[in-house]
Structure 1
Amino acid sequence: NDGRKELGKSVKLDDGPPARYQLRTKIINLDRLLDKDSKLRKFTFGKRDHKHPNKTVLLVGATGSGKSTLINALVNFVMGVKFKDKSETQTTAVSIYEVFGFEGKTVPYSLTIIDTPGYGDTRGIEYDDIITKKLQDLFCVPDEVDTIDVVGLNDLYLNSVTSLFGRDMEQNIVALMTHSDATEPTDALQALNEAKVKCARDKNNEPIYFCFNNCQKKKIKNLRAAQFAFKTSKDGMKYFTVFLEKSPPQSLQTTVEVMKERIRLKACIQNLEERVRTIELKQNTTNKNKEELSKYEEEMKKNQNFTINVEEVYRDKETIESAGFGLIIELPLVITVK
């Protein structure tokens, strides 16, 4: 009745400790691309029993904030893995993870986890836009993800992320402290309050949060330290899964509209920026041409065939990739004429 029975269906990756196993899953590329190109993949373990409810968790945060390790811990908890099993799943890239067949063991529901690549990546805001577009693509796949029960934030790069969701999602957004030492995360909570992050709050208007210790993914020689890390995460999972059970699912219709509007606004801003740039170029070239003409004003009066070089602004079209789809934009250019 626990996760140890499933190890026979898994591939052992590392003897550890802790030992690591990769679950055998059914994989579907929802964007219909080849494996090497797909950015929207679904991994399914087990077979869904529609007699049981399903809960969907969306995890967002910065690169390196511990989302994948947290997914491992959550899957382990749902499967009933104990400390002595010392196992964890291995996750990759942009993915949906479905875990079926453990309903009624640790939790009364099956689980769907949506793992996003890291917001705030060093590749910049353009990469964040690609992530947003991929989420929108996912939410628009028919009969795939219609509702979300909890959005888990595990990084302080938050306001730009929470702005993706409609107001109806606010009470479903919680903070996940992935590097906890089991004490109250005072600094993190203060940062949440100072940033006025939109999220679920308790009766004292404090952010609702759950603590986990992600050092369990490392090879820990000290058994007591390893047990403490495992217990911290297990306790966090107990509270989190209870909250998840009680959290009402929220439709993604408003969120999809927000994402579409963000893309439209970004396109409008880019267009305005280009217009301003064109105007500035025209002003600069006009002033430069006036200065050039003033130098030869007397000479031009004497010789009507006199020629000089002047600059002129025109626009050219160029195809670019933005937020995962192609755009044709006009770029202002400067040429020199006689």
Structure 2
Amino acid sequence: MATACAASTQQESLKMLIKRDFSTHYRTVKDLQIRKLIMQVQHQNKEQRVQVKTVGCKTQNPTIIILVVGATGSGKTTLINAMVNHIYNVGFNDDFRLILLDNEDAPKRSEADSQTDFITAYTFCHMPGMPFQYNYILIDTPGFGDTRGIERDQEMMIQLKAFFEQDNGIDQINGVGFVTPASASRLTHTQRYVYDGLCSMFGKDIKNKIHVMATFADASRPPVLDAITRAGLHFVKLHKFNNSALGICNENKGDGQDINADDDDDDDEDDNDSVSIQKLYWDIGHKNMKNFFNMTGCADPVSLTLTKQVLDERILLQITIGGLQDQIHIGLHKLDALTKERQMLARFGDDMKANEDHTVEVDVAYFVKHNLEKGKFVTNCSKCNFTCHYPCIYKDDKDKVRCYAMTNKYCRVCTGKCWWEVHNNTDFKIEWKTKKERRTLKEVQTRYNIAMQGIKDKENVVKSIEDEINQHVRRLISQIEEAQRCVERLEEIALKPNPLSTKEYIDLMIESEKIQKLPDYQRRVEMLQNLKQKVVLFQAVRKNYPSSSGETILEHFRNLSVD
């Protein structure tokens, strides 16, 4: 009895300490104080958008680390706020609530240093009165699948890899909290993309550490349980939460008097019913929160080594497929142009002098520059005029040696496989396109440095054309083999080896975007079309491809093109 009384006293003391010394008044909703938790920034890298924040002083107690992931709109922000209130024993009858994050006050997406775009480790150092005996770290990640599209999701993967490489002492985790709405009876194509994308970022050894955190739940069996089971997501346990009571003031405190009571008995009865329902939700959340903290507190930690390797291979595969896509595009147009030149030589080459002014129209590759958004970085090769990596986390040119496009200080993406120092961060990225251009027989000869001496020179020109095609394809084969190696390694170590959704899912996502027409949907459709090309290419490099000649290989990839 005395022990329970002492524990209760400690809990109340902790609650008052946090209210007085570790939080500040943020706003008032009716009679409920909303207080924002004060955290000290221990580490921050604005360029890579990662940070560590702390409440209290680190103790010698064990540390439990949980990574929280979820799609945009899944209720992740509110869930984290509910976890903070649980940690500091804030109860339903208290006149205040703690918040760590606030959707209503989130910075605009256009701000380069938007805090919602940071990966943040929140460290809650143990204090007497907490419901557990350890330090607790919650790693909050940006929402997956938001309106900025696939490009932002790919950037988050690089961001997560950068976070794990920080010198912050986080090299293992005890669990992954996978936040999802409880009401999803079946996965939409967009939700399936989110599930696949999140699962493909982890190593196989995380499989038994995943907890599904179902938000907006009631007392019944959540429909999402069947949906994620059908999707093949393995998890340890599903926890139900309904955090709607978090912002509700219990107006029937202590003496049972309603603070805002009036003379309408029916209204009083409705208010009492509402409070009872909110209390039920609060109790369900408290019970599941307690189970979640107990389960993760007893779980053995898993090293992040394998997950780091998965992220390495995924980023490398993403860069390789992106570069391969551009190189195939350039190669096909080069093949078309060279084929027309060869046909022109075959037709007029026996009398090259007489026909030197004959022209043929060909498609010629050229590049255009697209200005970047503020706060975005890129790795461009100044020698090849090629974007080797976008988005890149390294702003300074002196750091480009660490860019994921580099291997042993040489670029694996650009045409010349150039030395890292000729790569720069610029305010634009490069896109290769084609334009029509007329060429004369004389220009073809000059381009290959062939003197006009008859049939022998025609054969030399044809051979030079074929050599140019084969040289370009040899570079493609090198990238294909690199992509194949990544795929094989991911199949060995990744929780979900295939990092790209199927073409059918992407088609459905495109149709959904076109129907809904939400702001900036055209840009997202363009991204999805680009991803669809990558999916086809990814599936192609997993299989055998013809190896007889450069032309045969390029034609093979032309036939794989999608509309």
User: Which interval holds the TM-score relative to the shorter structure?
Assistant: 0.7 to 0.9
Q: 1:210 aligns with which of 232, 235, 239?
A: 239
Change (3 A) 1:165 1:301: closer
TM-superposed CA distance for 1:255, in Å, is 0.7
- Quick one: distance in 1 between partners of 2:330 and 2:48? 38
How far did residue 310 of structure 1 move? 3.0
Matched, 1:46 2:56: yes
Check if 1:195 corresponds to 2:231: yes
Bigger drift between 5-14 and 246-255 goes to 5-14
Measure, in 2, the Cα distance between the counterparts of 1:61 and 1:114.
Answer: 12
Q: What is the distance in 2 between the residues matched to 1:128 and 1:138? A: 15
Work out whether 1:16 is the aligned partner of 2:85: no
Structure 2 equivalent of residue 69 of structure 1: 78
User: 1:133 aligned to 153, 158, 168, which one?
Assistant: 158
Larger radius of gyration: 2
SS class of match (1:119): coil
1:324 aligns with 2:400: no
Partner of 1:112: 137
C-alpha deviation, 1:240, in angstroms: 0.6
Distance (whole Å) between structure 1 residues aligned to residue 37 and residue 20 of structure 2? 9
Deviation at 1:272, TM superposition (A): 2.4
For each residue in 1:104-140, what CA deviation from the matched residue of structure 2 results, as whole angstroms up to 9, or x when unmatched? 6311212100000011122222211211111111111
Q: Which has the higher helix share?
A: 2
TM-score in terms of structure 1 length: 0.84
TM-score for both structures, normalised by structure 2: 0.52
Is the aligned partner of 1:149 residue 2:186? no
Q: CA deviation at 1:150?
A: 0.9
Q: Who is 1:258 aligned against?
A: 310
**Paired residues of 2:333 and 2:365 also in contact (CA < 8 A):** no
1:304 is aligned, of 330, 355, 374, to 355
> How far does the alpha carbon of each residue in 1:168-222 deviate from its partner, in whole angstroms, 9 at most, with x for none?
111111100011112211x21111111101332xxxxxxx110111223445773
Instruction: Tell me the residue number matched to 2:448.
Output: none
2:19 corresponds to which residue?
A: 7
Q: Residue 154 of structure 1 aligns to a residue in which SS?
A: strand
Equivalent in the alignment of 1:203: none
Which residue identity lines up with residue 79 of structure 1 in the other structure?
A: Y
Work out the CA distance in 1 between the residues paired with 2:130 and 2:244: 26
Cα shift at 1:271? 2.6
Task: Tell me which amino acid in the other structure corresponds to 1:324.
Answer: I
5+ unaligned residues in a row in structure 1: which ranges?
201-207
Sequence identity percentage: 25
Change (3 A) 1:40 1:288: same
Counterpart amino acid of residue 385 in structure 2: K
Q: Which moved more, 1:88-97 or 1:68-77?
A: 88-97
Cα displacement (A) at 1:38: 6.5
* Counterpart check, 1:25 vs 2:25: no
Residues of 1 paired with 2:49 and 2:221: CA distance? 37
The number of equivalent residue pairs is 321
Call closer, same or farther: CA 1:4–1:83 in 2, change over 3 Å. Answer: farther
After superposition, the Cα gap between the structure-2 partners of 1:303 and 1:67, relative to the gap in structure 1 and judged at 3 Å, is same
The CA deviation string for residues 132-179 of structure 1, in whole angstroms up to 9 with x for no partner, is 111111111124211100100013532321221111111111100011
Cα drift, residue 72 of structure 1:
1.1
Give unmatched runs, 5+ long, in structure 2: 1-9, 102-114, 181-190, 250-270, 367-383, 395-402, 406-412, 416-430, 440-563
Distance in 1, Cα, partners of 2:319 & 2:390: 12
Cα deviation, residue 290, structure 1: 8.3
Measured in 1, the distance between the counterparts of 2:195 and 2:311 equals 16
The alpha carbon displacement at 1:307 in A equals 3.9
Q: Distance in 2 between matches of 1:105 and 1:265?
A: 44
1:164 aligned residue: 201
